Structure 1
Amino acid sequence: MTELRSIERVGFVGLGAMGSGIARRLMDAGYSVVGWNRTRAKAQDLVDAGMGWADTPREVAEQCDVVLTMLTNTAAIPANAHGDDGLLAGLRPGTVWADLSTIAPDASVALSEEVATTGAFYLDTPVSGSPATLAAGQMSVMVGGDRAAYDHVEKLLLSIGPKVTYIGANGHAILTKVAINLTLVVSVTAFAEAVALVEKAGVDRAAVVDAALKSVVASPVIGYRAPLLVDDDTVFADVELQQKDLVLAQDLGRRLGAMVPTCSAASEMLSAARSSDLADRDFLISVSDVYRRAAGVAL
C-alpha cells in the first residue's frame, strides 16, 4: 500500500461561504493552507490572513499533502478535477483528497476510482451544518473511504467540527449525507406548512416561532432557521441549492426501487418556491412564501 504523506501543507479548492469558513478554521488550528477559488477576490481575506495562493487546482495538489474540496454540485467536478489544470493531474502518491461537497453518490465513487490510479487516497467527507453551525464549532463530518486514510486525517477533520463519524467504504458517507439532507428539507418544509396553517387561523407568527423553539420540535436546524420567519436576515441555503439534495435522493430512490414519498412532496414545494419573488432568500422563506400566498395569508 502507498505510504501516506506527512501532513505539512493542506490545500483547499472551493472557497465560497462554507469553504472559506472551513479554511479559516484550519488556519486557526495551525495548519499551513494553500487555496484556489475560481474568483480570487472571494478568498482575498484568507490570503491577507496568511493563506497561500495557487493559480490552478493542479498547483494546489502539487504543493499539498491533504487536499480538501468544497464544490457546488456534481457538475463542478470536471472543471476542478480533470484536464491539465485539474486536481487529478497534480495529485502525488500518498496524498489524501477529502471532498466535503454533496455530490451524486455514483459520481463520488467514480472519482475515488480515478484518484486511486494516481496512488492518492480519496475520501468522501460531506459536512452537515451551515455557516452558522460552523462558526459555533458544531459542524459534523461524515467520512467514507480507506480507513487508514481516515485515521491519518481525523485530527485535521476534527478542527472543522467536533463530530466526525467514519461511515464505511467510498460512497457511504455521501449516501448518509443524502439521507440527512432529505430529513432536513422535509422537516423544514413541514415547519413552514405548519406555521402558515395556524397563521391563517390568526395566530401571531412570532409567537408560533417562539413556542416552537421551546418545544420538542426544536431540532438544531429548526433552531437556527425558524427565527428567519420573524427576522429574515440570513441565507443558509437558497431553494436551488437545497433542492439539489432532494433530487439526489429521488434519483437514488428510482435507481434502488425505494419509495421516497415525503422527499417527492417536499421537492414539489421547492419547485413551486423557485418561482417565488423570495427565491433568493433562504429556502424556508421561499417555501413559506408559497404556503402563505396559497392560503391567502396577508403578506
Structure 2
Amino acid sequence: MNIGFIGLGAMGQVIVPRLLGAGYQVTGWNRTAERAAPLIEQGMLWANTPAAAAAASDVVFSIVTDGGAVRSVALGENGIIFGLEKGGIYIDMGTIAPDVTRSLAATFAEHGIAMLDAPLSGSPVTVEQGNASLMIGGDKAAFERVEPVLRAIGPKVTYIGASGQAHVMKLAVNSLLMVEVIAFGEAVALAEKSGVDRDVALDAVLKSVTAAPVLGYRGPFILEDKMPDVPLADVTLQQKDMILVLEMARKSGSPVPLAAAANEMMNACRGLGIDRNDFVVAHQVYRRLGGQPVDEKLQGIRSST
C-alpha cells in the first residue's frame, strides 16, 4: 500500500519514520511545509495539498489538532476526499468528538471510501519506543485490510466497534490519564509541603504500586529545570480533550466528577500563566495553593502546537 499522511506535527514526526521503516511509500502534507524537511530527508514524498497526497495513496492518515482541522483537511478545498479513489481508506488518528467522526464517515461512505477513527494512546516518546497503542472504530473489513499498517505504528491495536466508538474510548482513556497525572502532582506537592524533597518524592512514587508508564516519562518534568522546552502536550491541547470528555459525559448522562476537577486544574494553570508547559505542570498549582512559590523558569515556555 502507498500511504498518505496529513499533519506532520510532533506525532507525525515520529509516526512517518515508522511507516517508512516498515517499507511503505509515504506521501505527506502539512500546513507549514518546513515541518516536512526532516521527513523528506528520510524518504517521504511531498504533496502540495491533502488531495494530492491522497491521489498518490491507497490509505490516507490524518493527525491534526481538532475537529475543525479534521473537517478542513478531509472535506475542505483540496481535501482528502477529492483525491482518494473509491475503495480507498481514510484513517483519522486525532482526538475529536465522536459525532464529528460519524458525520465525516457518512460523507466518505457516499463517495465509496471507508473512514476509520484510530486515535493513538501515547506520546511521541511512546511511539518512538514502539509502545503506542491504537484504538479503531469503523468498518471492520476496512480495519482488517489496514491492520498491518496500523501495527507498523504501534504494536497494541484494538478494534473497538462502529464508527466513532474508538474516539469514545480514547476520551475515556484520556480522562483517566488526566486524573492520574493531576493526582500525581497533588501527592508530590503534599509530600513537599510536609518536608520531603521533590526528587525524593518523585523517586518514591515511581517505585510504588501507583507507578504507570505515563508517570515514568512525564513525572521527571516536575523537577527543577526538567520541564521540556517543547511540551509533549501543553495545557491548552490537553484541555481540549477534557472539554470533549465533559461534553460526552453530559450527553450520555454519565457523571465524571474527577474529570471535571482535573479540568479545573487546567484552568488554574492558565490563571497562573504556566499553560504553555506540559500539563503535568498542574503540580505547580498545588504548590502555589499550599503556599509554595511557582518555579520561575516555567514562565514563557512556548508550545510547538
- TM-score band by shorter chain is over 0.9
Confirm or deny: 8 A CA contact 2:5 2:61 kept in the other structure: yes
Output one character per residue of 1:83-132: Cα deviation in whole Å (capped at 9) or x when no partner.
Answer: 33111122211111111110111001111101101101100000000011
**Separation in 1, partners of 2:77, 2:31:** 16
In the other structure, the counterpart of 1:275 is 271
Secondary structure of the 1:164 match is: strand
User: Gaps spanning 5+ residues in structure 1: where?
Assistant: 1-6
Secondary structure of the 2:60 match is: strand
Output one character per residue of 1:240-274: Cα deviation in whole Å (capped at 9) or x when no partner.
Answer: 01111111110011111111111111101111112
Pairs within 5 Å for 1:196-235: 196-230=189-223, 231-233=226-228, 235=231
Confirm or deny: 8 A CA contact 1:91 1:118 kept in the other structure: no
* Aligned with residue 178 of structure 1, among 171, 174, 186: 171
* Aligned with residue 142 of structure 1, among 135, 138, 152: 135
* Aligned with residue 98 of structure 2, among 90, 102, 105: 105
C-alpha displacement of 1:223: 1.2
Pairs within 5 Å for 1:1-299: 7=1, 9-230=2-223, 231-233=226-228, 235-285=231-281, 287-298=282-293, 299=295
**Separation in 2, partners of 1:276, 1:80:** 34
Secondary structure of the 1:159 match is: helix
User: Gaps spanning 5+ residues in structure 2: where?
Assistant: 296-305
**Separation in 2, partners of 1:235, 1:216:** 27
In the other structure, the counterpart of 1:4 is none
Secondary structure of the 1:292 match is: helix
**Separation in 1, partners of 2:6, 2:272:** 32
CA RMSD of aligned residues (A): 1.1
TM norm structure 2: 0.93
When the two structures are aligned, how many residues end up with a matched partner?
291
C-alpha displacement of 1:194: 1.0
Confirm or deny: 8 A CA contact 1:276 1:289 kept in the other structure: no
Task: Pick which of 81-90 and 22-31 moved more.
Answer: 81-90
Confirm or deny: 8 A CA contact 1:14 1:37 kept in the other structure: yes
**Separation in 2, partners of 1:84, 1:283:** 34
Confirm or deny: 8 A CA contact 1:65 1:96 kept in the other structure: yes
Confirm or deny: 8 A CA contact 2:62 2:70 kept in the other structure: no
Output one character per residue of 1:177-207: Cα deviation in whole Å (capped at 9) or x when no partner.
Answer: 0000000001100111111111111111100
Amino acid at match of 1:275: G
Secondary structure of the 1:67 match is: strand
TM norm structure 1: 0.95
Sequence identity percentage: 47
Secondary structure of the 2:153 match is: coil
